[in-house]
Amino acid sequence: DAGITQSPRHKVTETGTPVTLRCHQTENHRYMYWYRQDPGHGLRLIHYSYGVKDTDKGEVSDGYSVSRSKTEDFLLTLESATSSQTSVYFCASSSGQDILSYNEQFFGPGTRLTVL
């Protein structure tokens, strides 16, 4: 696997609390992504980043924000967690070297978040 780690790996929190998930990659990849995976919905893109301080929304971005202050780190924040945000969250990265998007994505191990 590419050097992508996520922390924490598991978290239980209460409704209304802020939560930050961290993704760290050591591949110097340009692009980074946050997905959530839920039964019946597959993998859905929350936010992505195409460079330091450059981010954009995915298909399920409501209730989430992201920040990328360094190439290697991409943070996902749930401003006020809700039970509907209980899910498994995956971070991914890709080199972005090929402008035609012939780029595979490398995934982290996932964070299992439970909002009570």
Partner 1 sequence: SQQGEEDPQALSIQEGENATMNCSYKTSINNLQWYRQNSGRGLVHLILIRSNEREKHSGRLRVTLDTSKKSSSLLITASRAADTASYFCATPLSSNTGKLIFGQGTTLQVKP
Kindly state whether residue 63 participates in binding partner 1, applying the rule CB under 8 A.
no
27 to 56: interface string for partner 1, x by CB under 8 A: ---xx-x-x----xxxx-x--x-x-----x
**Which two structure tokens, joined as six digits, stand for 115?**
């909002």
Q: Give the residues across from 41 on adjacent strands.
A: none
* Contact by Cβ (8 Å): 90, 34: yes
Kindly state whether residue 99 participates in binding partner 1, applying the rule CB under 8 A.
yes
CB of 98 to partner 1, least distance (A): 9
What CA–CA distance (Å, rounded) separates 85 from 67?
19
Calculate the alpha carbon distances from 16 to 9, 79, 81, 94 in Å: 20, 8, 5, 33
Kindly state whether residue 92 participates in binding partner 1, applying the rule CB under 8 A.
yes
What CA–CA distance (Å, rounded) separates 67 from 77?
8
CB of 67 to partner 1, least distance (A): 19
Kindly state whether residue 5 participates in binding partner 1, applying the rule CB under 8 A.
no
Binding site for partner 1 (CB under 8 A): 1, 4, 30-31, 33, 35, 40-43, 45, 48, 50, 56, 58, 90, 92, 94, 96, 99-110
